[in-house]
Structure 1
C-alpha cells in the first residue's frame, strides 16, 4: 500500500468552514490524495475519518472530557446519529461531531459552546483525474476560557487531524480491498 502523505495548506476559498463564523481566531487545513480506486463519496470519506479514529485519539478525547467537565463545557452532543450508509444530513451526528451543513462534495461539522465555536469541513476536490481530501478547521474564541482552552489544544490538533485523515483513508483502502 502506498503511503498516505498529508500536507498542511491554506483553507480553500471554496470551503464552507471558511465563511461559517463571524470571526476566526484559528484556522488550518490539511490535504492528501485519496488513494486510487477508493470510494470518492463525501459521506464514505467523512465516516471513515470521524467514526474510526485511532485509539490514542479516542483516549485523548476521553481525557479532555474529564478535564473540562468541571468548567461546564460540553462533553457530548445530543444529536441523532447517522446510521448505515445514509446521506449525512444537517442535524445528524458522525461520531461526536454534529453535521451542520453539506453540499455535493463537502460536509461541515461543528459545535458552538460557551468558550468557543468550531467548524470542520471535509471536502473532496477533483483535478486532473485525481481526488483530494481536504480537512479545514476554523475556531472562534468566545471568551478568555476559549483562548486558555486552545493553548494546549493547538499543537495537539496539528498532530491529531493529519493522523485522523491518514487513518480514515487507510480504513477506506483496507475496506475496499477486503470487499466490505
Structure 2
C-alpha cells in the first residue's frame, strides 16, 4: 500500500506519444498523469494490464448501462469486445485492441461506425533520480458522424472520471514492482 496520496493531474498530451498524431482531427483529447513510486514497473504493457484489471466496481456498472443503451444502436459493446480477447491473432488488453507498443508506450483502442479512439499508457522519466517515473494515460477520439459526436458529448464527463478513478485505484492498491 502506498504511504501517501498520489495526485492525478490533468496534463497536455505528451508530444512523444503516438496518440498525439493518431488522427487528422479529434473531437476529444485529454491526458492524465500520475507519479509512479521509484520501485514500480515501467513496462507500459504491465501497467496497462494492471490498471484495467483493478478498476473500481462502479466502472463495470457504468459499462453495463452503456452496453444496454448502445446495443440497440448497433455499436460494439464491452461484453462483445471481451469475447474477442480469446482471438490470438488480434492482441488485446482487457477489452481494448492493441494498436502499438514500444519500450515506453502501449496504444490501445477500437474502431467503430460512430467513432474511433486511442488510449496511450506512456511512461516517462521522473524529474529527478529520487522520484518515480510519470505514467500518462492519454485519450484521443475521432468521430465519424452525428451519432459519434452525440455519444461523445454524453460520455466525455464520465470518461474523465473513469480515467482519474482508475489511476487512483491502481496507485492505492500499489503498482506492480519493477522486475529485478
User: Could you say what the CA RMSD is over the residues aligned between the two structures, in angstroms?
Assistant: 1.9
Aligned partner of 2:67 in structure 1 is: 65
- Name the structure 2 match of 1:23: 25
Whether the 8 Å contact between 1:49 and 1:169 is mirrored in structure 2 is no
Match of 1:119 in 2: 118
- The answer as to 2:70 corresponding to 1:107 is no
Aligned with 2:16 (options 14, 17, 25): 14
Alignment partner of 1:170 is 2:172: yes
CA contact (8 A) 2:85 2:95 kept: no
Question: How far apart are the structure 1 equivalents of 2:89 and 2:34?
Answer: 25
The gaps in structure 1 that reach 5 residues or longer are: 83-88
1:85 equivalent in structure 2: none
Greater displacement, 105-114 / 148-157: 148-157
- The structural deviation recorded for 1:25 is 1.3
Instruction: Trace 1:5-154 onto structure 2 (pairs within 5 A).
Output: 5-75=7-77, 76-77=80-81, 79-80=84-85, 91-127=90-126, 128-129=128-129, 130-154=132-156
Stretches of 4+ aligned residues off by more than 3 angstroms: 78-82
Unaligned residue ranges in structure 2 (runs of 5+): none
TM-score normalised to structure 1 length:
0.87
TM-score with structure 2 length normalisation?
0.87
Q: CA, structure 1 residues 8+81, in 2 after alignment: closer, same or farther (shift >3 Å)? A: farther
Structure-2 residue corresponding to 1:159: 161
Contact 1:97-1:110 within 8 A present in 2 as well: yes
Shift of 1:151: 1.3
**Counterparts of 1:152 and 1:80, CA distance in 2:** 27
Bigger mean CA offset, 130-139 vs 164-173: 164-173
Q: Which has the higher contact order (CA 8 A, sep 6+)?
A: 2
The number of residues matched between the two structures is 169
SS of 1:80's equivalent? Answer: helix
The residue matched to 1:151 in structure 2 has which SS? helix
Moved more, 95-104 or 137-146: 95-104
